[in-house]
Amino acid sequence: MDTQRQAKRRVDEGNPNSKLMTPERIFIIESMSWWSWDAQEAAWQSRFEELVEEVQRTGKIPPNSHPTLGNWVHTQRKAYKA
């Protein structure tokens, strides 16, 4: 997947040596509902959606001890304060 992202980045930058990523390949990749060109943004969005579901289920932000969201919420709070 990183190879496709790198090839697409070269296309976006106008690199003439970007023959691996054709418009047809871009179309096929983008037609996959789970695909994202920005892996970090997709991971953040996925975790945020988990948080929203947890808050809707419990009515509160999960504590740091939560197995999957605790550390993520803590990290987001630290980033916001920075």
Q: How many Å apart are CA 28 and CA 24, to the nearest integer?
A: 6
The DSSP-derived string for the chain is -HHHHHHHHHHHTT-TT-TTS-HHHHHHHHTSTT--S-HHHHHHHHHHHHHHHHHHHHSSPPPTTSTTTHHHHHHHHHHHH-
Q: What is the pLDDT of residues 24-68, one digit of tens each?
A: 888 998 898 888 888 888 889 999 999 999 999 999 999 989 998
Is pLDDT of 16 > 70? no
What are the tokens at 53?
A: 């579901």
pLDDT (0 to 100) of residue 14? 83
The model's pTM is 0.64
pLDDT (0 to 100) of residue 37? 83
